[in-house]
Amino acid sequence: MKSSSIVTKLWIVINILTLIVIGVAGIVHTSIMDKIYYDVQFRQLTSLARKVANFTSTENDSQAMDLKVKMASDFIEGNIMVYDKKGIVQSSEGFAKSTKDTSLVPINPTYSPLTKDDIKELLSGETVFHKGNNPFFNTQVLTVGVPVTDPQSLIGAVVIHVPIEPLAGQLAVFKTITVYSTVGGLGLAITLSFLFSKKVFEPLRNMSRVALAMANGDFSRRITINTTDEVGLLADSLNTLSGQLQEKLAQLERLDQTRREFVSNLSHEMKTPLSIIQAFTEALQDDLAVDANEKSSYLNNIYEETARLKRLITDILDLKKMEEGYEDFKMNYVDLKLLASSVQSNFSTLAEEKGVKLIFHISRKTPLVWGDSDRLKQVFINLLDNAVRHTPRGGEIVITIGHKADNVLIEIKDSGLGIAPEDLPMIWERFYKGDKSRSRSQGGTGLGLAIVKRIIETHGGHISVWSKLGEGTIFTIILPKEMVMR
């Protein structure tokens, strides 16, 4: 465990505080234990002295009295003296020599079970209690004297002497138990404080590791959250930050990849027509055309490639504007029936040339939609152009326009060759072409479907595709109720 770690610092602080608290508590406990213990002994001996006084005051048989007093003294392992109203010892039992028939006030005060002050207090009717060395017993004793009175006067006294040594031994046992308990508690506190410190700051250590990983570019690490307190909230915030940074980084990587692919694809798309234009131009400059027809063919190829470059640049600019939100759509109510009729006229000749049948199913109840007429027409043109070009002779294309609930549904279905399953997710990407050789021969730029998707999304709609090789393709457009005129 590193000395500079926050776990170690907290552990040291907790241990210091624990030592201070336990030390102060131990000192206080030790200082008051003696007083409490001897106070308890005083109350117990006082109670016993009163009981002895009760049965001796009514006992006239001296032998019976001595027997009872002896039983009581044996019970406490001490000395009990019973005085009458004249201060003469009536019974004396227990350790040390008997003082029976001696006076409460001795001839030699320095060699007496009671001091002058004890005798004075006892004769005045007060309870006596003290501990210390007693020359009479030649040992440390605990002394309790209880006066026995009737309503008018003092009629006697009971004095109990108990050696302190056995009591001190019991007290020492209590103190030893206290010391062992304190040491054990301190050891337990040190262990628990370490475990507590480690558990409390483990999330912080995890956060530190995750933050370091983030600094090194690894945003995949996460913190396990087991609490809902401030530490848990901080861990959750760090997890959220890591996730957001990971997502942003992935977006930047995808954007960078898209840009690289865009530049590569654009270079490729422009390189071929430019090479063709250059080749035919050089052929014309070198007078390689043998006659007017061949020269016209060269010029026609140059024109077609130039037109293709123009379409490519136009599509790129349109897509860029829509992706950046700069395209200014001219929104108005659009009649899809009229729009479909216009598109049908545009494609009827091309469809006849290709031997493809166009079929339109348009519901009379199709509502007007709020949109850009030119852009919606561009959607139809792109989708129909793809359908016509990819449907073999004898096939058919079915265009269905209707509504369901508050949505307008547009479906363009062809009986063409279909799209391979692995190509379906990528058909919306810029410059993606499932069949590159056929795309070039048919004049596509590879941006049509990307533009179609962006136009529909700008109108708040959704476009999806279903396709199966050998069966055909279905494009489905849904314009939401917000775009429909009620």
CATH code assigned at 105: 3.30.450.20
The model's confidence at residue 483, banded by pLDDT at 50, 70 and 90, is low
Q: Which residue has the higher pLDDT, 407 or 105?
A: 407
What is the C-alpha separation between 423 and 87, in angstroms, rounded?
A: 124
pLDDT score recorded for residue 478: 92
pLDDT score recorded for residue 451: 82
Q: How far is CA 426 from CA 34, 261, 420, in A?
A: 91, 13, 11
Residues 321 and 424 in one domain: no
Residue 144: CB partners within 8 Å, gap ≥ 6? 42, 45, 46, 49, 127, 128, 129, 159, 160, 162
Taking only the tens place, the pLDDT of each residue in 390-421 is 899 999 999 999 988 778 999 999 998 898 88
Q: Which of 278, 303, 328 is the last residue of a domain?
A: 328
Q: Which of 275, 297, 328 is the last residue of a domain?
A: 328
Residues 323 and 378 in one domain: no
Tokens read off for 459: 């109108």
The model's confidence at residue 257, banded by pLDDT at 50, 70 and 90, is confident
Residue 203 lies in a domain: no
What is the count of structural domains for the chain?
3
70 pLDDT higher than 80 = yes
Residue 440 is part of a domain; what is its CATH number?
Answer: 3.30.565.10
Three-state DSSP at 437 gives helix
Residues 369 and 458 in one domain: yes
The model's confidence at residue 485, banded by pLDDT at 50, 70 and 90, is low
What is the C-alpha separation between 21 and 15, in angstroms, rounded?
A: 10
Residues 229 and 138 in one domain: no
Residues 258 and 367 in one domain: no
User: Does the reported pTM lie above 0.85?
Assistant: no
Average pLDDT over every residue of 101-123: 66
The dihedral formed by the CA atoms of 121, 123, 129 and 135, expressed in degrees to the nearest 10: 100
Q: Which of 378, 376, 244, 396 is nearest to 311 (CA)?
A: 378
Tokens read off for 151: 């309503």
What is the C-alpha separation between 100 and 440, in angstroms, rounded?
A: 139
First-to-last CA distance in the chain?
74
Q: Which of 158, 156, 124, 160 is nearest to 144 (CA)?
A: 160
301 pLDDT higher than 80 = yes
Residues 478 and 445 in one domain: yes
Q: Which residue has the higher pLDDT, 292 or 229?
A: 292
Domain of 75, in residue numbers: 6-170
The model's confidence at residue 472, banded by pLDDT at 50, 70 and 90, is very high
Residue 230 is part of a domain; what is its CATH number?
Answer: 1.10.287.130
Taking only the tens place, the pLDDT of each residue in 161-194 is 888 777 667 667 777 777 777 778 778 877 877 7
Least confident stretch, 30-39, 68-77, 126-135, 277-286: 30-39
Residue 105 lies in a domain: yes
> Where does 216-229 have alpha helices with state H?
none
Residue 387 lies in a domain: yes
Is residue 41 within 8 Å of residue 142, measured between CB atoms?
yes
pLDDT score recorded for residue 435: 54
Residues 344 and 472 in one domain: yes
pLDDT score recorded for residue 434: 58
Residues 323 and 341 in one domain: no
Tokens read off for 139: 């040992």
Residue 290 lies in a domain: yes
Q: Which of 141, 170, 199 is the last residue of a domain?
A: 170
Residues 228 and 280 in one domain: yes
Residues 100 and 152 in one domain: yes
pLDDT mean across residues, the chain: 79
Residue 204 lies in a domain: no
Residue 351 has a CB neighbour count (10 Å cut-off) of 20
Average pLDDT over every residue of 147-159: 80
pLDDT score recorded for residue 204: 73
Residue 485: CB partners within 8 Å, gap ≥ 6? 333, 367, 368, 369, 370
330 pLDDT higher than 80 = yes
What is the C-alpha separation between 242 and 239, in angstroms, rounded?
A: 5
Taking only the tens place, the pLDDT of each residue in 266-292 is 676 677 778 888 888 888 888 887 788
Residue 188 lies in a domain: no
pLDDT score recorded for residue 473: 94
Residue 39: CB partners within 8 Å, gap ≥ 6? none
Residue 288 has a CB neighbour count (10 Å cut-off) of 12
Residue 180: CB partners within 8 Å, gap ≥ 6? none
Residue 397 lies in a domain: yes
Give percent of the chain with pLDDT exceeding 90: 10
Residue 111 lies in a domain: yes
What is the C-alpha separation between 160 and 43, in angstroms, rounded?
A: 12
Length of the chain: 486
Tokens read off for 234: 């901080």
What is the C-alpha separation between 337 and 408, in angstroms, rounded?
A: 12
7 pLDDT higher than 70 = no
Residues 275 and 259 in one domain: yes
Which segments of 270-395 are extended strands (E)? 331-334, 357-362, 369-372
Residues 26 and 138 in one domain: yes
